[in-house]
Amino acid sequence: MLQGLYAITDATLTPEHQLLTKVSAALRGGARVIQYRDKSTDRHTRLRQACLLAELCQAFGRPLIINDDPELALACGATGVHLGQGDADLAYARALLGKEAIIGITCHDSLELALQAQQQGADYVAFGAFFPSTSKPQARLAPLSLLSQARRQLCVPIVAIGVICVDNASQLITQGADMVAVIQDLFAAIDVESRAQQLAALFDN
């Protein structure tokens, strides 16, 4: 079941020498899904890291999702792939990875895109960002009301993404998010396991 903390790796916050240590801590703390996200063009490094994460996630019984790369997901034995609007076609990813794969789609602030993704067979949809980013201050934000509106119209799980931390995640869960995707607040924490526990506990309240 896709519910809870959705942890996303970051090449800066989870460099290779800390990748397994930090992701292990997030999993021990209660992360329900791990997404491997690395935008570099070094395919050998990405495959090596993805394979290590796939083995780790399998040991914890948690799904590994690969960001934007169905071929890498297939090569490392990941559970599925997350696709942006400009990435590989959902039908292509499904044909490549099979009917059991978890495929998620970024829908930004568009319920229409989410309904379309659901119709095409997506296993979850992601909305965001909901909070302003210092790195992208001009980015268009999704309104919190989108989550409650989507909750009424969608059957697939809803992931909220974008500048989410332990202090604001409850708002998203209350509005209808099944999962919150966290990068900075989790992997920049001094104690990753403890921060994961804090984020995971928000779904119990």
Q: Which tokens go with 7? A: 């942890």
Fold of 4-201: TIM Barrel (3.20.20)
CA angle 183, 37, 97 (to 5 degrees): 130
Q: Does pTM surpass 0.85? A: yes
Q: Are 33 and 62 in contact (CB under 8 A)?
A: yes
Give the model's confidence band at 133: pLDDT under 50 very low, under 70 low, under 90 confident, else very high: confident
Q: Which tokens go with 105? A: 């789609």
pLDDT digits (tens, 9 = 90+) for 59-80: 999 999 999 999 999 999 999 9
Sketch the domain layout of the chain as residue ranges.
Answer: 4-201
Listed residue (61, 177, 62, 70) closest to 126, CA to CA: 177
Q: Are 129 and 111 in contact (CB under 8 A)?
A: no
CA dihedral 41, 45, 48, 49 (to 10 degrees): -80
For residues 125-152, give the mean pLDDT: 90
